[in-house]
Amino acid sequence: MTWQIMPGLLVPDTRTQPFAPGGRRMSASANSAPPRLRGQVAKSAAFKPSQEQIVLLITLLLLVVFSVALPGFSSIANLLNLMRSISILGILSLGMGLIVISRGIDLSEVAIMAGSWSVALIEIQKGMPVFWAASIAVGIAVAIGLANGAMVAFIEAPALFVTLAAGFVIYGVAFWFAPAWVVYGPKDAPGLLFLGAGHIFGIPVPILVFAAAAVLMHLFLSRTSTGRFIYSQGDNPESARMAGIALRPLIVLEYVIVALVAWLAGLVWIGTTGSMQMAITQGTMVFDVILVVVLGGISLVGGRGGVFSVVVGCALIGTLLNAFTIMDINSEVQNIIRGVVLLAAIILDNWLHPRDEETARQGD
Amino acid sequence: MNVALTPPRGAAAAAKGPGAAREPVLRIVNGNKIYGGVHAIEDVSFDLFPGEVHALVGENGAGKSTLCKAIAGAIQLTSGDFQVDGKPARFESPRDALAAGICMVYQETSLVPTMTAAQNIELGNEKLITRFRTLNIQAQQLLQSLNFHVDPATPIGMLGTAKRQMVEIARAVYNNARIIIFDEPTASLTPEEIVHFFNLVRDLRARGVAIIYISHALEESLQVSDRITVLRDGKLVITADTADMTREKLVRFMIGRDISQTHYSHRAGHAERRRERRGKVLTVENVTMGTTVKNMSFSIYAGEVVGIAGLIGSGRTEIAKIIFGALKRNLIDGGTIRLHGRPVRYNVPKQAINDGIAYITEDRKLNGFFETMVVDDNVYIGKLATRAGWRFLLSMATRGKLANYWVDRLKIGTLQRKAKIVELSGGNQQKVVIAKSLVQDPRIIIFDEPTRGVDVGTIPEIHAQIRALADEGKAVVVISSYLPEVLSISDRILVARMGRIVAEFDAADATEDKIMYAAIH
């Protein structure tokens, strides 16, 4: 009689992912992956475009359609406007992208942007030098990031609720400091306003800031060990922990980075509009950011996607939102369209990464 | 045994044992399943007679699961004849198969944990209005007729694996299954439960139910089956009567080469090869954690392989994780762990890794590797996570060098370097997980079920690596539930039972019986 026989086998998930960190595109081969065969590698059957490629294509299509159909869309003024609004959305999405890759989320990102800068602007109105006010804004942002990170990492509260609650608290506290829906910035602080209002060689600075931030983020995620750790955390936090990665400090760092990115976005915002509106914390902006991230290809599951995904998603959403403004579509309809687009993104994600019995784990 | 149910369809035509001339209840001729251009099974012919237990063996990737899923209706064959009772059939979904009397009992049982046993038996056949009393009485009668001691009103979540299997079988019988497919049914059963399970299989067979039995345990397959089919790389190798088969022949058919010196025959030369044990590196003193580890004490020496045997749930994995820092022992009266005499307490694995301790997990899919990354990245992350190996900017050169070294040393299949780790076979994945830990330059290495889900050809390679590590002077611990493995690879064997170490044997004195006697409770 034989005793404890070797326990059964576990066949790992044969889902393959089309996104390498840094946004290098590879064609998806999820549905065509066979169950593991010894010595053989899954080959993709039909060409399945990556999510980023699809979104890019749709964006180009929309650009063409809108230039033709909407008067004023392709005017220089509007295109510059488009680029400016994309920049702010894009910078915010870079931060959100990082945190989603790590399998977290930060619903307080927009609140951090508005809250930290509202306080700073009020101080400037009261006479504080711009540099110190900006530093206070940094301090506030970092403090919130630390608090969020500490709660998620050490108290192990779910990120969704921690950051949601944090958003409300920030709104409340900032409003108490700066009891106005709109806080106006100084009219003549060139240092402060340059990032938002300036031009270099005719290109609006916001887009350059976005580009620089994107490049930095890309290098950080794909060329540094910390970036690699963020991906491994998103892929499998338990594996990361067992491999010896210090997860808790990493999580705190991630939330601080998001907060700093939000601060940067705020700086550009002030340059473009000359003010900071607390109203946006109550609006749907943060969901636009999440929409960009998910649509662009960074799955909420974590461990996938990169800066290219953010850029591509941002281009699409920015174009759409710009067209909505021109078409003067009222906000309810806008929300419906946003919701539909998000649904479409999720369905697309499911089509590209099907989860069915063939990819489920069973003995072989 | 009293049968209070209507006998399954076809029972009248069923013979009582193999050998009688009869119609196959299932027949597949030249079955193929192609995924994206690659054959999962190729030209496989298979038949099944009523009242027969037909074992299906083969390594990982051989196609056993694919074949059975096709039979059970979960997937469809790309081509080939598929006949049930002599008539061509096509199942679009498992429901069709169930209607035809084919039921598959999966390795991880497909029951609803929050529902009771009675409700699960009824699953799929619920009436519009459920009267729980009738439901429970019905289930009770069914279970009793099968001699299963399961309370029909218990939620599945509270039942152990053995009882869950019983509920699954009861469900199959309730659905008048004529063909039942078991996928690794004994993987999580204790020895007594295995005996009981074999009796069940025999009873089902006596009723005329045909059984397909997938198992990696060759001894079991030989014991319980009437015929055996061997698959290899998606193709049929042979279908033969069990009476004509032996374990060696099966292994040869499965891998296509002769493992002349089987991986478990090392014991013969053990006495001469005896390693010298060097200093004591780690002592565990009266460590306690909750209810799983109770006052466990033992020591680990450098240059020695210590095997820890014991039943599942005896606390071996838990103590390993406590040593590694993945779990924490009790704060008060939790005992002491000393590394080179110095008491240590780790809160995170990172600290243990920095002190030179490595742990190879028993469930690599759960927490062993990073599934979206390739082999090279998995290994490199192991290096980056150490204090000595960390650098802020990644170095592709270091990454490549490390990967090449480990692929070479552990003989990881080179065809698969570019593939994501999920696409590798179980054996290669295990090797990558091992490489990821060894690259951290540990001095104490704990292997937890190192050859679980690893194909027969790769097992000796992993064992060789384990021995080589001990020869180099590292302290090696191997936790395994497979006794021949423990016996062949260890210099010293500890036996765990219910959270304690209850016996210690020198490899030369240990036998399977002694170990099992100590391990059983």
Per-residue pLDDT of B85-127, as tens digits, reads 888 988 888 888 888 889 888 766 678 888 888 888 888 777 7
Tokens representing residue A281 in the block: 């914390």
The alpha-carbon gap from B325 to the nearest alpha carbon of chain A, in Å, equals 9
Query: Do both B462 and B367 map to the same domain?
Result: yes
pLDDT value, residue B60: 61
Query: Domain locations in chain A?
Result: 51-346
DSSP string, B55-112: EEE--TTSSHHHHHHHHHTSS--SEEEEEETTEE---SSHHHHHHTTEEEE-SS----
* Residue A357, both tokens: 């019995």
Chain A segment 240-279 residues within 8 A of B by beta carbon are: 240-248
What was the pLDDT predicted at A6? 34
Nearest CA in chain B to A18: B372
- Strands, E assignment, chain A: 182-184, 199-200, 203-204, 275-277
With cut-offs at 50, 70 and 90, classify the pLDDT of residue B184.
confident
On the question of pLDDT at B438 being above 80, the answer is yes
Any CB–CB contact under 8 A between B312 and chain A? yes
Q: Is pLDDT at B273 greater than 60 in this prediction?
A: no
Which residue of chain B comes nearest to A5, CA vs CA? B482
CB contact under 8 A, B36 and A34: yes
Radius of gyration of chain B (CA): 25
pLDDT at B472: 92
Tell me, what amino acid is at B107? Q
Measure the CA–CA gap between A363 and B64, rounded to whole angstroms: 8
The number of domains in chain B is 2
**What is the spatial distance between Cα B200 and Cα A213, in angstroms, rounded to a whole number?**
66
**Integer angstrom CA distances of residue A321 from A91, B130, B413:** 16, 53, 50
pLDDT at B10 over 60: no
pLDDT over 90 at B170, yes or no: no
pLDDT of A210 reads 94
DSSP strand E in B368-461: where? 444-448
CA pair distance A102, A233, nearest whole angstrom:
6
Burial class (CB in 10 A: 0-12, 13-18, 19+), B347: exposed
Q: Which of A12-21, B30-39, B76-85 has the lowest mean pLDDT?
A: A12-21
Q: What is the pLDDT of residue B18?
A: 47
Asked if B50 and B26 count as a contact pair (C-beta separation under 8 A), the reply is no
Per-residue confidence (pLDDT) for residue A364, from 0 to 100: 28
Rounded Cα–Cα distance for residues A277 and A196 (Å): 15
B250/B393 same-domain check: no
A130-146 tens-digit pLDDT? 889 999 999 999 999 99
- Mean pLDDT, to the nearest integer, of A333-358? 72
> pLDDT at position B260, please?
43
Q: Residue A30 pLDDT > 60, yes or no? A: no
B182 neighbors B140 (Cβ within 8 angstroms)? no
State mean pLDDT over B205-227. Answer: 87
Per residue in A200-217, is it b (16+ CB within 10 Å) or e — as a string? eeeebbbbbbbeebbeeb
d(C-alpha B16, C-alpha B9), whole Å:
15
Report how far apart the first and last C-alpha atoms of chain B are (Å, whole number).
29
Question: Which residue has 């409003």 as its token pair?
Answer: A175
Asked if residue B97 lies in contact with residue B91, where contact means CB atoms within 8 angstroms, the answer is: yes
In the prediction, which pLDDT does B125 show?
78
Q: What is the pLDDT of residue B54?
A: 94
- What does the pLDDT average to over B325-341? 92
What's the farthest any 2 CA atoms get from each other in chain B?
74
Nearest to B173 by CA among B131, B135, B211: B211
More confident residue, B102 or A204: B102
Reading the block at residue B368, the tokens are 């062993």
CB of B432 within 8 A of CB of B454? no
Averaged pLDDT, A7-34: 34
- Per the DSSP assignment, residues forming a β-bridge with B420 are B374
A61-75 mean pLDDT:
84
A111: contact with B, CB 8 A cutoff: no
The percent of residues above 90 in pLDDT, for chain A, comes to 38
- Residue numbers of the domain that contains B398: 278-519
- Give chain A's largest Cα–Cα span: 89
- Look up residue B436 and give its two tokens: 């990821």
Residue B270 within a domain: no
d(CA B104, CA B71): 9
The residue from B186, B221, B255 where one domain ends is B255
Residues A161-183 have pLDDT tens digits of: 999 999 999 988 887 877 777 77
B251 occurs within a structural domain? yes
**Chain A contacts in chain B segment 357-376 (CB below 8 A):** 359, 361, 363-373
Contacts of A2 in chain B (CB under 8 A): 217, 219-220
pLDDT at B72 over 60: yes
| Residue B6's pLDDT band (cuts 50, 70, 90) | very low
Is residue B14 in a domain?
Answer: no
Tell me the C-alpha to C-alpha distance, in Å, between residue B50 and each of A192, B21, B95, B225. 84, 11, 21, 13
- Find the CB nearest B216 among A4, A9, A11: A9
Q: Would you say residue B120 lies in a domain?
A: yes
Question: Which of B255, B287, B322 is a domain's end point?
Answer: B255
Q: How confident is the model at residue A20 (pLDDT cuts 50, 70, 90)?
A: very low
- Whether residue B398 lies within 8 A of chain A, CB to CB, comes out as no
Q: Are residues B112 and B167 in the same domain?
A: yes
Q: Tell me the average pLDDT of chain B.
A: 84
Q: B365 to chain A nearest CA, in Å? A: 6
How do strand B38-48 and strand B26-35 relate by DSSP bridges?
A: antiparallel
Residue B32 vs residues B67, B78, B180: alpha-carbon distances, Å: 9, 6, 22
B248/B329 same-domain check: no
DSSP string, A238-266: HHHHHHT--HHHHHHHHHHHHHHHHHHHH
CA distance A156 to A159: 8
- The helix (run of H) or strand (run of E) holding residue A293 is helix A285-296
pLDDT computed for residue A11 by the predictor: 33
CA atoms in the 13 A half-sphere facing the CB of A349: 19
- Please determine, for residue B16, whether its predicted confidence score (pLDDT) is greater than 60: no
The whole-number pLDDT of residue B259 equals 45
- At B73, the amino acid letter reads G
| Residue B462 pLDDT | 93
Q: How confident is the model at residue B261 (pLDDT cuts 50, 70, 90)?
A: very low
Residue A29 banded pLDDT, cuts 50, 70, 90: very low
Task: Answer yes or no: is B266 within a domain.
Answer: no
CA dihedral B464, B469, B475, B476 (to 10 degrees): -30
Per-residue pLDDT, A48:
65
Q: Specify the pairing of strand B227-232 against strand B492-497.
A: unpaired
Residue B21 falls inside a structural domain = no
User: How far lies A217's CA from each of A98, A287, B39, B426, in Å?
Assistant: 8, 21, 42, 35
Same domain, B237 and B379: no
Angle at A349 (CA atoms; ends A348, A352), nearest 5 degrees: 85
Classify each residue of B87-100 as buried b or exposed e, where b means 16 or more C-beta atoms within 10 Å of its C-beta.
Answer: eebebeebeebbeb
Of residues B51 and B164, more confidently modeled: B51
Q: What is the CATH number of domain A51-346?
A: 1.10.3470
DSSP assigned state of B116? B
Q: Per DSSP, what are the bridge partners of residue B231?
A: B236
Residues 17..56 of A with a Cβ closer than 8 Å to B: which?
17, 29, 31-45
Give dist(CA A82, CA A67) in Å, integer: 13
Which residue's structure tokens are 């086998």? A9
Tens digits of per-residue pLDDT, B193-204? 788 888 888 888
The pLDDT value recorded for residue B416 is 63
Same domain, B194 and B322: no
| pLDDT, position B257 | 52
Query: Is B115 within 8 Å of chain A by CB?
Result: no
Q: Is the pLDDT of residue B431 over 50?
A: yes
The identity of residue B136, as a single letter, is N
Would you state the pLDDT for residue B65?
A: 80
CB of B31 within 8 A of CB of B70?
Answer: yes
Rounded Cα distance between A256 and A149, Å, is 7
**CB-based contact A73:A67 (threshold 8 Å):** yes
pLDDT tops 80 at residue A188: no
Higher-confidence position of A232 and B35? A232
Q: What pLDDT score does A283 carry?
A: 73
Complex ipTM tops 0.90: no
Q: What is the pLDDT of residues B381-403, one digit of tens each?
A: 999 999 998 999 999 999 999 99
**A113: confidence class by pLDDT, cuts 50, 70, 90:** very high
Q: Give the least confident one: A217-221, A245-249, B67-71.
A: B67-71
What integer pLDDT is reported at residue A33 of this predicted model? 37
A361 or B88, which is more confident: B88
In a shared domain, residues B206 and B323: no
Same-domain check for residues B310 and B249? no
In angstroms, how far is CA B39 from the centroid of its own chain?
Answer: 25
Closest residue, chain A, to B379 (C-alpha): A243
Q: Do B423 and A16 make contact, defined as CB atoms within 8 angstroms?
A: yes
Per-residue DSSP letter, A61: H
Give the separation between CA B253 and CA B78, rounded to whole angstroms.
26
One domain for residues B446 and B343: yes
| Share of chain A residues as helix, strand and coil, in percent rounded to the nearest 5 | 65, 5, 30
B191 touches chain A (CB under 8 A): yes
pLDDT confidence of residue A47: 60
Q: How far is A296 from chain B (nearest CA, A)?
A: 18
* pLDDT higher at A300 or A289: A289
Selection from B372, B370, B402 nearest residue A306 by Cα: B372
Test B420 with A17 for CB contact under 8 angstroms: yes
Measure Cα distances from B193 to A97, B79, B160 in Å: 50, 39, 11
The secondary structure of B414-462, three-state, reads: HHHCCCEHHHCCHHHHHHHHHHHHHCCCCCEEEEECCCCCCCCCCHHHH
Is the predicted pLDDT of residue A354 greater than 80, yes or no?
Answer: no
pLDDT value of residue A4: 33
What are the φ and ψ backbone dihedral angles of B289, each rounded to 5 degrees? -145, 110
Taking an 8 Å cut-off on Cβ atoms, the answer to whether A242 and B361 are in contact is: yes
> Percent of chain B having pLDDT more than 70?
89
Pairing assessment for the beta strands B79-84 and B26-35 based on DSSP bridges: antiparallel
Q: H helices then E strands: how many in chain B?
A: 18, 20
B492 bridge partner residues: B306, B506
CATH code assigned at B191: 3.40.50.300
Q: Is A10's CB within 8 Å of B453's CB?
A: yes
d(CA B357, CA B438): 10
Q: Residue B227: its pLDDT value, please?
A: 93
CB atoms within 10 A of CB B333: 10
How confident is the model over B244-254, as pLDDT tens digits? 888 878 877 87
Judged against a pLDDT cut of 90, whether residue A261 lies above it is answered with yes
* Position B364 pLDDT exceeds 50: yes
pLDDT at B519: 79
Please give the pLDDT value at position B414: 66
Q: What gap in Å lies between CA B156 and CA B164, rounded to an integer?
A: 7
Residues B283, B231 share a domain: no
First to last CA, chain A: 25
Collect all residues with Cβ–Cβ distance below 8 Å to B218 and sequence separation of at least 6.
B57, B247, B250, B251
pLDDT > 60? residue A40: no
